[in-house]
Structure 1
Amino acid sequence: MLVRPASLATWPPRIHDLFGQEGPLVLEVGFGDGRFTAELAQAHPHWLILGAEVSAASVLRAYRRLRREGIGNVRLYHGQGPFALRNLVPPRSLRRVIVNFPDPWPKKRHQKKRLLQEGFFRRLSTRLGEGGDLLLTTDHEEYFRFALEEAERTRLYRVEVKDPPEAHLRTKYALKWQEAGRTFFHAVFTKVAEDPMPWPPIRRYPVAHALLKGNLPEKLVLVKAPVVVPGGVAVFLEVARGEEGFYVLTHVEEEDLTQGLLLEVRKSTKGIYAGVSRFGSPLITDGVRGAVQALVRELERMGLEVVQDHT
C-alpha cells in the first residue's frame, strides 16, 4: 500500500507493478488524512488510486484508515506530487488528477512554490490520457483565479468552472472551512492537447561511490555551503567521526525531489571508500552522484588518489 521508489524492481514502474492489476489510474495530490481517498476508492472500486502527500503524519493516518477499512485499490507515496506524476505515472495513462485545498502560498515571494502553475499543467498533459482531467477544489479565490489563468495560458485544456462535487466538501479542510463560513471554488481542467516537450522520468543509478588510495584523514572539514550538482544543489550539513571513518549528513535538492542522505568516507579492503551509505535507501540520482563527486574532489585536495570511480 505504501510506494517506496528505491525498492521498485523496474524504473519507472508499470501500473501493474504498483497495483498488481490494470485499471483506470487516478492521482490525488495532497490526500491529508485519507478520508476523501477512502471514500473515492470505495465509490470506484475499479479505479487504481495513487496518492501523494508530503506530511509523514498524514501518510500514517491515511495508511491506518485504508488498512482499517480494508481498501486495496490505493497506493500511497510520501513525497511531492510532481515527483509521483513524473516518475510513477506512465505517459498518457491518467484518467484524473484530484487536488483538494492545495497550499495557496499567498505571499507574493512564495508563489513560485504553488503547484498549479503553467509548467505543471504542461507536464501534466503528457501524463493524462485522452480526455483526462484535473479537478481543483479550493477556498482561496486568488489562487483559484491564478490556476485558471496558468492553465488557459497553455491552451492545452478546456476549463470549466462548476460547483464543487459533494464528496469534495467532506475532506478535513472542507469541513473546517465550512464551519468558518468560507466560499468554495471548483474547476475541471480537461486535456484537449499535449505539450510537445518530453518529460522523462528521473534517471536512477545502481551505485555512486569511488575508491581512493591513501590514508584516511584525521579530520574531514567540509564547508556548509550549496554545491551545484546536476539539476540542483547539495549541502554537506554535518560530519561525524565513526569507528571506520566519517559520515556526512547531506542535503540534495533536485527538481521535484529533496533527499537527506548519509555519505561515507571509510576504510575498506580495497582502499578508502567514498560514497552513498545504504542507510535510508536513497534514490541514486544525478544530483546524488554530483554530491559524491564533490566529496571525492575534497578528498583529492587532501592528497588521496582515485583508483576506481563509479560516480
Structure 2
Amino acid sequence: MLVRPALLPSWPPRLEDLFGRAGPLVLEIGFGDGRFAAELAKAHPGWLLLGAEVSAGSVVRALRRLRREGVENVRLYHGQGPFALRNLVPERSLLQVIVNFPDPWPKKRHRGRRLLQESFFRRLSTRLGEGGALLLTTDHEEYFRFALEEAERTGLYRVEVRPPPETHLRTKYALKWEAAGRGFFHAVFTKVAEDPSPWPPIRRYPVAHALLEGNLPESLPFRKTPVPLRKGMAVFLEVARGEEGAYVLTRVEEEDLVQELLLEVRESERGLYAGVSRFGSPLITDGVRQAVAALVRLLEPLGLKVVQDHTGEGLR
C-alpha cells in the first residue's frame, strides 16, 4: 500500500504498476490519518486512490487504518503532493484531486509555500482528465479566496463555490474545527482547458558512482558542507567511518522532493567506490548525481584520483 518510487518497475509508472489494474484515478493531497481516503475507497471500490502526505506519523496511522479496514484500492506516498502529481500520475488521467484542510501558511512571508497557487493549477491541468476537477475544503477564508483567485487567473478552470459535501466534514481536522465553532468553505475547480507547457516526470538514473585510486584518509572534513545544485541544494550532514570505508549522510533538496540518503566511499575489487549506498533505496535523480560528483571533487584534494567516472558530471 506504500509507494516507493525507487522500487517501481517502470518510470514513470503505469497505473498497473501502482495498483495492479487500471481504473478511474483520484489523488488526495494531505490524507492525514486516512479516514477520508478509506471512506471514499469503500464507497467507490472501482476507483484507484493515490494519497500523498508529508507527515511520517500520519502515513503510519493511515496504513494501519487501511489494513485494519481491509481497503485495497488505496496507495500512499510519503512526500510532497506536487511530486506525486508530477511523477506518479499519468497525463490526463485524474478524475479528481481532493484537498481537505491544507496548511494555509497564514503569514504573508510564507505564502509562497501554499499549495494552491497559479503554478500548481497550471500544472494540475496537465494531469486532470477531460472534465476532471479539484475539490477544496477549508476553514481558512483568506486562503480560500486566495485559491479562487489563483485558479481564475489561469483561465483553465470553471470555479464553483458550493456547500461542502458531508463526507468532507468527517475528516480529523473538520471535526476539530467544527468543535471549535469554525465555518467551512468549499469549491470545485473543473478543468476546461490545459496549460500548453510540458511538465514531464523527473528523470530516474542508474546508480551514480566513481572509482578512485589512493588511500582513504581516516577522517573526511565534510560535515555540514553545503553543495549548490543546478536546481536545489545538497548538504553533507554527517560523516562516519566504518571498517570498509566512510559514510556520508546527505540531504538532497530538489523541486518537490527532499531525500536523506547515504553516500559511501569504500573498498571494492576495482578500487575505492564513491557513490550512493543502497540503504533506504533512494531515487537517483539529477540532484543525487550532482551530490555524488561533489563528494568526489572533495576527495581529490585529499590524494585520491578518479579512474572511472559514472556520475554523469564529467569529472575526468
Q: Is the 8 A contact 1:261 1:282 kept in 2?
A: yes
Alignment partners' CA distance in 2, 1:104 and 1:24: 29
Show the counterpart of 2:172: 172
Alignment partners' CA distance in 2, 1:95 and 1:249: 40
Deviation at 1:161, TM superposition (A): 0.7
**How many residues are matched?**
311
Alignment partners' CA distance in 2, 1:216 and 1:263: 15
Show the counterpart of 1:246: 246
Show the counterpart of 2:270: 270
- Kindly provide the amino acid, as one letter, of the partner of residue 239 in structure 2: V
Show the counterpart of 1:260: 260
Show the counterpart of 2:314: none
TM-score, normalised to structure 1's length? 0.98
Q: Is the 8 A contact 2:49 2:75 kept in 1?
A: yes
Q: Secondary structure at the match of 1:272?
A: strand
Instruction: Please list the CA deviations of residues 208-239 of structure 1 after superposition, one character each: whole Å capped at 9, or x if unmatched.
Output: 11001111123210152431123211001111
Show the counterpart of 2:95: 95
Alignment partners' CA distance in 1, 2:73 and 2:243: 46
Alignment partners' CA distance in 1, 2:204 and 2:114: 26
Show the counterpart of 2:304: 304
Q: Is the 8 A contact 2:24 2:95 kept in 1?
A: yes
* CA RMSD between the two structures: 0.9
Show the counterpart of 1:118: 118
Deviation at 1:122, TM superposition (A): 0.6
Q: Which moved more, 1:287-296 or 1:219-228?
A: 219-228
Show the counterpart of 2:220: 220
Report 1:1-311 matches (<5 A): 1-222=1-222, 224-311=224-311
- Kindly provide the amino acid, as one letter, of the partner of residue 178 in structure 1: E
Q: Which moved more, 1:215-224 or 1:36-45?
A: 215-224
Q: Secondary structure at the match of 2:31?
A: coil
Alignment partners' CA distance in 1, 2:205 and 2:230: 14
Q: Is the 8 A contact 2:161 2:187 kept in 1?
A: yes
Instruction: Please list the CA deviations of residues 91-132 of structure 1 after superposition, one character each: whole Å capped at 9, or x if unmatched.
Output: 000000000000111111111111111111111000000110
Q: Secondary structure at the match of 2:16?
A: helix
Q: Secondary structure at the match of 1:226?
A: strand
Consecutive unaligned residues of structure 1, counting only runs of 5 or more, are: none
Q: Is the 8 A contact 2:244 2:266 kept in 1?
A: yes
User: How much identity, in percent, do the aligned residues show?
Assistant: 81
Q: Is the 8 A contact 2:223 2:239 kept in 1?
A: no
Alignment partners' CA distance in 2, 1:286 and 1:101: 33
Deviation at 1:290, TM superposition (A): 0.5
Any runs of at least 4 consecutive aligned residues in structure 1 with deviations exceeding 4 A, and if so which? none
Q: Is the 8 A contact 1:211 1:273 kept in 2?
A: yes
Q: Is the 8 A contact 1:216 1:267 kept in 2?
A: no
Alignment partners' CA distance in 2, 1:181 and 1:102: 18
Instruction: Please list the CA deviations of residues 151-185 of structure 1 after superposition, one character each: whole Å capped at 9, or x if unmatched.
Output: 11111111111110010000000001001100100
TM-score, normalised to structure 2's length? 0.97
